[in-house]
């Protein structure tokens, strides 16, 4: 059945629109699902599919029936969905280990769905995604093909359930890129289409797992093969394949013109529930934009109406293809406008008081796979290509003590397969690890939540995934020892070692994917405390007092509108609410300027400062936009940093000549704009942490924390560039991987021709690759803290007025990382003179400090040339110290202070030649652990230092420690330093080096 008759039948059937909870990762909680039903009702969506991949009774242990408690909670969810007019679809994924020819397995499947039907569920789905497409030996004797086996079981179950009105089927070849060999010639899809009963809807993700766009032509093709229009399983907002990305942009890339050619759309959104409001709201707007399913501008066979043709002629240069044209000219749905419409209600959600959901403790449950299927521990992905929910997340490495950066054991800067340098023999140049190599050896990572004896294996993109041609051509020969073959397929190790960073550590708020029972905890109706907004806020409304329809006693949002003695007025010219004290008899009785008045004013100001405005919400959305597109604010940061980096020569003095005044002024002006934009993003993180919606904050914190940390490094680097000390033109530097501005890279990114996990890391990675040390992944890919860091900090270059603060930090950390105040009571500046003074005096322009709200709490000081520093120090610094600290009289025993003073009067040690040759720069880094809440700060600080050294032409840096400083040796080892010279005597210094 094709053509007009098929379209008429499609129009007569209810269009399926909604959400599928089908991702890998921690399932949503019961409270979140109930809130989801409210969001869906308000957005006009009508279907929810329960299919969390890591709910073990959905997939791993699909045969197990639900317990009494789980049955009660599932019944509660089904009832709650019906109350909101949402169809609850229960999905099951038996494909991991089902024997299609086994009567016992088929009966178990029927029994499981029968049980769910007794809970009131009237819609079901059977999913066969992400499984090995091979039959067992027993099944091969009973079925002609894999597709025939799936069809047989699905038809039998469908009829056993009395052919429910809604029954969904997800095939193993669920997108065009997985169809073998093509959609039109796939034997599997042809079998599914011809033999699956007509009442069963088939799910389809489009051209790819994550499809940038859906065209009428491709939908007509799959409909003809499947003998029915498909239901789109849409992964455009899915983020479980990349722990550093989350998507807050509007539903895009699908023209409403495709609605007559499909039976529905269900979005599989972000793993983080609170991040999905925009995706759900804009999908609802999209579905309403063509409710009758009538084609208007586009005629069959993709021929255009005269009006559409005229529009195309006027805007022809703006569109890349005919297939993309309808979504861009359709005035009924515009993504940017839909995002603005969603902002008002999203702000209301952001300002509601909502606590994070209670989560059941993950249980380690093995996943049993049929023979021949690669297996691994729970949470570790297997090698088969990803399905609609795409890829599992890896397990985090063990945490480190406060103030010490988290990293893999051993030396993270040494590439896999390169052994650390022994302390007995100096390294040769051939032994030096390249900083352009991946920083983490997966075999060194210890996943604490993986069963003993099972090695940790971080996930990779699907095996055999071809690279875009543009990435192949942009990879420089210096970035890898492998040669790109002319066959057109680049080996995966090449992707991981050059164009792509190593697998990032997952965020702490998105824990490793261990199968759990997401139905084991469900609060009773009267204990539900989440405030759920039902108000219809206008886009310009900052916050409204929202009432919940879940309980009569639920409290609404304590927004600005509900503050006592506050008048809220909003205008187009002033989007912020105006706070004005109201005159009342109570206020007239108060004493003017009293402490109570001041306290109330401060409280009101603090709460007002934490209010998310529409601009804040829009900025957040554009920083984490869509898989194939960065928002305008993100692009501004990328473009400005790239311009500042490439035009830094405009402010460099050439000999005795001053830099061009006009060019230098322009550079400094644009640098200030970049710094201001970074500060706005920092303020956005502060508002997020201090906002009332703690559930939203927990879901978004790790992503914004990561981005803000990278931006702080970029800002500090730009501030250092402003000094005009960069001696190497950064525009001509060879980088180990492509950047956003490499030839063809941006086109490959936005084209949608590749799956988005090819371009890992999102905006954070794009910014990182613009820094000189882009390949120092251990300084950027950092596990977020296991707690919310409330204290703000800033990174900036060292200033001469910081000297006293640095001396104080040095004193409090000089005793092998501990406070040395009591060790040197009479000489508070002695250790500062010993460890820092020479570098601060002779090379003050290469230092950076970390500063909190109290003051400086950490620093890194360095010198570009250690030998030059030693020579100048011998001529100027050491004589000054000998005069400042006279040689003490000889005694039988000497104090620590006297030993340090004696070192000034002795011959100064020279930098060993084997150290200087490979690591010519020297540095010292210290932090105050009691003041540093964020464990990533030392790595961020070192990233600033190495960026400055690289810009000055350094190829490596070393630090000098006493062999007895066990804590500091371990501290620097965690920062990627390793021993580079032999220790001849117990009292000798130890040299630790790291490539730049």
The first and second tokens of residue 801, run together, are 């007025």
- Choice among 130, 132, 139, 778 that is catalytic: 130
Q: How far from chain centre, in Å, is Cα 562?
A: 35
Residue whose token pair is 């699908």: 254
Task: From residue 381, give the alpha-carbon distance in Å to each of 378, 387, 456, 463.
Answer: 8, 12, 11, 12
Q: Residue 908 carries which DSSP code?
A: P
What's the per-residue H, E or C state across 51-111?
Answer: CCCCECCCCCCCCCCCCHHHHHHHHHHHHHHHHCCCEEEEEECCCCCCCCCCHHHHHHHHH
- With left for phi above 0 and alpha for psi between -120 and 50, is residue 464 left, alpha or beta? left
Is the distance from CB of 221 to CB of 2 less than 8 angstroms? no
Residues in Cβ contact with 643 at an 8 Å cutoff, skipping those fewer than 6 apart = 670
Tokens describing residue 45:
């969506």
For residues 188 and 1, what is the distance between their CA atoms, to the nearest angstrom?
A: 20
Type and span of the H or E element at 703: helix 694-721
Q: HEC states along 12-61?
A: HCCCEEEEEECCCCCCCCHHHHHHHHHHHHHHCCCEEEECCCCECCCCCC
**Cβ-based neighbour number of residue 842 at 10 Å:** 15
Cα three-residue angle 492-185-145, rounded to 5 degrees: 85
> Nearest to residue 205, comparing CAs of 183, 184, 185, 176?
176
Which residues contact residue 352 at a Cβ distance below 8 angstroms, ignoring those fewer than 6 apart?
A: 531, 532, 533, 546, 556, 557, 692, 693
Cα separation, 29 vs 69, in Å, equals: 15
> Which residues are 851's β-sheet partners?
794, 856
CA–centroid distance for 64 within its chain: 34
Categorise residue 403: left if φ over 0, alpha if ψ from -120 to 50, beta otherwise: left
Q: How far is CA 909 from CA 50, 519, 870, 968, 984, in A?
A: 69, 67, 9, 20, 13
Backbone angles phi, psi at 966, to 5 degrees: -65, -40
Separation CA 776–CA 771 (nearest Å): 10
How many Cβ atoms are within 10 Å of 150's Cβ, its own excluded?
A: 28
Give the number of residues written for the chain: 996
- Write out the DSSP string of 361-394: PP---PPP--TTS---STTS--SSPPBTTB-PPP
- β-partners of residue 849 are 796, 859
My answer on whether omega of the bond before 530 falls inside 30° of 0, hence cis, is: no
Record the tokens describing residue 394, joined without a space. Answer: 């890896």
Distances from the Cα of 549 to the Cα of 42, 407, 534, 554, angstroms: 12, 47, 7, 8
- Do residues 174 and 230 lie in contact, with contact meaning Cβ atoms separated by under 8 Å? no
DSSP classification of residue 802: G
- Sequence-separated (6 or more) residues with CB below 8 Å from residue 763: 623, 624, 630, 634, 637, 638, 707
Structure tokens that stand for 955 in this block: 């190829």
Candidates 174, 261, 254, 191; CA nearest to 226 is 191
Residue closest to 66 by CA, chosen among 116, 106, 21: 116
Indicate if 297 belongs to the active site.
no
Query: Beta strands of 852-904 (E only): which ranges?
Result: 856-863
Q: With 0-12 CB in 10 A as exposed, 13-18 as middle and 19+ as buried, what is 226?
A: buried
**Active-site residues: which are they?**
130
């Amino acid at each position: 059945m094709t053509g007009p008759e098929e379209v008429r039948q499609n129009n007569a059937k209810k269009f399926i629109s909604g959400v599928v909870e089908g991702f890998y990762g921690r399932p949503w909680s019961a409270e979140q699902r109930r809130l989801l039903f409210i969001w869906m009702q308000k957005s006009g969506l009508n279907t929810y599919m329960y299919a969390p991949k890591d709910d073990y009774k959905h997939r791993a242990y699909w045969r197990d029936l639900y317990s009494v408690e789980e049955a009660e909670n599932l019944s509660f969810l089904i009832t709650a969905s019906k109350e909101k007019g949402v169809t609850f679809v229960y999905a099951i994924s038996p494909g991991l280990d089902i024997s299609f020819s086994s009567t016992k397995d088929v009966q178990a499947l029927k029994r499981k769905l029968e049980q769910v039907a007794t809970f009131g569920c009237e819609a079901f789905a059977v999913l066969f995604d992400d499984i090995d497409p091979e039959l067992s030996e027993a099944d091969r004797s009973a079925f002609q093909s894999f597709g025939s086996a799936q069809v047989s079981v699905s038809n039998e179950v469908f009829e056993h359930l009395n052919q429910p009105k809604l029954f969904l089927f997800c095939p193993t070849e669920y997108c065009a890129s997985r169809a073998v060999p093509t959609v039109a010639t796939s034997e599997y899809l042809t079998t599914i289409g011809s033999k699956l009963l007509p009442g069963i809807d088939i799910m389809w993700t489009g051209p790819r797992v994550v499809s940038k766009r859906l065209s009428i032509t491709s939908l007509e093709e799959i409909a003809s093969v499947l003998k029915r229009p498909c239901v789109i399983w849409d992964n455009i907002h899915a983020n479980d394949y990349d722990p550093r990305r989350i998507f807050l942009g509007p539903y895009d890339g699908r023209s409403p013109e495709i609605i007559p050619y499909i039976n529905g759309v269900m979005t599989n959104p972000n793993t983080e529930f609170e991040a999905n409001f925009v995706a759900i709201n804009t999908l609802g707007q999209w579905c309403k934009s063509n409710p009758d399913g009538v084609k208007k501008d586009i005629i069959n066979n993709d021929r255009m109406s005269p009006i559409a043709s005229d529009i195309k002629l006027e805007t022809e240069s703006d569109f890349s293809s005919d297939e993309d044209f309808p979504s861009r000219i359709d005035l009924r749905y515009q993504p940017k406008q839909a995002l603005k419409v969603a902002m008002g209600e999203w702000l209301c959600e952001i300002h509601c008081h909502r606590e994070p959901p209670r989560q059941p403790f993950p249980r380690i449950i093995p996943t049993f796979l049929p023979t021949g299927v690669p297996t691994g521990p729970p949470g570790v992905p297997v090698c088969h290509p990803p399905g609609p929910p795409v890829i599992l997340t890896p397990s985090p490495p063990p945490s480190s003590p406060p103030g010490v950066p988290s990293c893999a054991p051993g030396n993270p800067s040494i590439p896999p397969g390169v052994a650390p340098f022994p302390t007995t023999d100096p390294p040769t140049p051939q032994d030096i690890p390249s900083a352009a190599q991946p920083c983490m050896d997966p075999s060194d990572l210890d996943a604490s939540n993986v069963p003993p004896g099972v090695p940790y294996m971080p996930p990779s993109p699907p095996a055999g995934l071809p690279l875009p041609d543009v990435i192949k051509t942009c990879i420089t020969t210096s970035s890898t020892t492998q040669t790109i073959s002319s066959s057109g397929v680049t080996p995966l190790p090449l992707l991981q070692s050059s164009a792509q960073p190593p697998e990032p550590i997952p965020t702490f708020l998105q824990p490793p994917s261990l199968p759990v029972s997401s139905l084991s905890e469900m609060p009773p109706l009267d204990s539900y405390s989440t405030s759920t907004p039902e108000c219809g806020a206008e886009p310009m409304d900052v916050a409204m007092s929202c009432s919940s329809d879940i309980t009569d006693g639920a409290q609404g949002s304590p927004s600005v509108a509900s503050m006592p003695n506050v008048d809220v007025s909003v205008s187009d010219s002033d989007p912020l609410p105006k706070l004005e004290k109201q005159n009342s008899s109570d206020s007239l009785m108060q004493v003017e300027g009293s402490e109570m008045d001041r306290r109330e004013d401060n409280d009101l100001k603090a709460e007002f400062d934490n209010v998310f405005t529409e601009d804040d919400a829009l900025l957040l959305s554009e920083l984490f936009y869509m898989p194939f597109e960065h928002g305008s604010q993100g692009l501004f940061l990328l473009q400005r940093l790239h311009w500042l980096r490439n035009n830094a020569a405009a402010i460099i003095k050439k000999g005795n000549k001053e830099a061009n005044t006009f060019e230098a002024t322009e550079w400094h002006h644009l640098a200030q704009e970049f710094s201001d934009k970074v500060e706005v993003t920092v303020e956005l993180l502060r508002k997020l942490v201090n906002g009332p919606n703690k559930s939203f904050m927990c879901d978004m914190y790790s992503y914004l924390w990561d981005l803000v940390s990278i931006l702080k490094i970029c800002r500090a680097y730009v501030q250092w560039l402003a000094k005009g000390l960069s001696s190497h033109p950064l525009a001509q530097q060879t980088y180990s991987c492509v950047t956003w501005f490499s030839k063809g890279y941006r086109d490959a990114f936005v084209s949608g021709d590749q799956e988005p996990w090819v371009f890992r890391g999102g905006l954070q990675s794009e910014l990182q690759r613009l820094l000189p040390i882009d390949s120092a992944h251990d300084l950027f890919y950092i596990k977020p803290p296991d707690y919310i860091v409330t204290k703000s900090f800033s990174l900036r270059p060292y200033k001469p007025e910081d000297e006293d603060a640095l001396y104080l930090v040095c004193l409090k950390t000089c005793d092998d990382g501990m406070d040395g105040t009591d060790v040197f009571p009479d000489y508070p500046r002695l250790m500062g003179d010993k460890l820092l003074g020479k570098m601060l005096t002779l090379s003050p322009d290469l230092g950076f400090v970390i500063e909190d709200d109290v003051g400086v709490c950490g620093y890194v000081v360095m010198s570009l040339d250690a030998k030059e520093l030693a020579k100048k120090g011998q001529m100027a610094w050491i004589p000054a110290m000998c005069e400042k600290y006279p040689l003490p009289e000889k005694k039988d025993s000497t104090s620590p202070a006297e030993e340090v003073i004696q070192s000034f009067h002795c011959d100064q040690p020279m930098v060993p030649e084997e150290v200087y040759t490979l690591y010519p720069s020297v540095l010292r880094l210290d932090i105050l652990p009691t003041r540093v809440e964020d464990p990533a700060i030392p790595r961020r600080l070192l990233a600033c230092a190495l960026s400055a050294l690289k810009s000055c032409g350094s190829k490596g840096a070393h630090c000098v420690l006493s062999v007895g400083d066990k804590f500091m040796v371990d501290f620097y080892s965690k920062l990627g330093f390793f021993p580079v010279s032999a220790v001849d005597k117990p009292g000798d210094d130890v040299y630790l080096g790291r490539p730049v």
